[in-house]
Amino acid sequence: MNFIEERIVKDGIIKSGNVLKVDSFLNHQMDINLMEEIGREFKRRFSDVCVSKVMTIEASGIGIAAFVAKEFGVPLVFAKKSKSINVDGEMFVAEVESFTHKNKNQVIVSKKFLHEGEHILIIDDFLANGCALQGLISIAESAGAKVEGCGIVIEKGFQIGGRVIRNMGYRVESLAIIDAMDAEAGTIDFRAQD
């Protein structure tokens, strides 16, 4: 097991309905040492690509992505969720359905901060059905930027998102891929990775 898988086993809480709570270290309370380690690990995994900007979506992706951006020495842009578009200037917009909250959000990034020819690394905490990630990819492509890859902390491998995004031709690196969870037994199966 790698450091993320170990931490999930130690501190993650499996709930019924394939819910994994990692709010004690990742997306409510944040273990900053872990964030730094995640930053270093994505730098290592994407050391072969040119990255000019890291991109994520608010809110829980921001902390993680900030430490990845630090490792690459590049700026971070985070997409904002907006129900009512009330923003001046021009925006790239994508519509994203939330699995957790069962609603639709518009996801927006100012055109000032994404440009043609940029090399984008997208970072997020979870990949499940892939809607958020597809929205971010769509926004980056609208800008004429190149998505060099997607770095995910926890992928729910039993949901469709990872397969969809990889089938679209994008490189997805997930630090932990969960193939199955059993709330009653309290067990998690991780997919073997190189």
CB atoms closer than 10 angstroms to residue 8? 24
CB under 8 A: which stretch of 62-70, 137-145, 149-157, 181-189 binds a copy of itself?
62-70
SS3 124: strand
* Interaction of residue 104 with a copy of itself, rule CB under 8 A: no
Tokens of 140: 């980056």
Tokens of 38: 């995640």
* Interaction of residue 183 with a copy of itself, rule CB under 8 A: no
d(CA 86, CA 83): 9
In the complex, what is the shortest distance from the CB of residue 75 to a copy of itself, in angstroms, rounded to a whole number? 5
CB under 8 A: which stretch of 3-11, 52-60, 117-125, 170-178 binds a copy of itself?
52-60
Residues 114, 143 contacting (CB under 8 angstroms)? yes
What is the contact mask toward a copy of itself in residues 120 to 149, using x (rule: CB under 8 A)? ------------------------------
180, amino acid identity: A
Q: Give the contacts of 66 (CB within 8 A, at least 6 positions apart).
A: 35, 76
Binding positions for a copy of itself, rule: CB under 8 A? 15, 23-24, 28-32, 35-36, 58-60, 62-63, 66-67, 69-70, 73-78, 80, 86, 88, 101, 109-110, 112-113
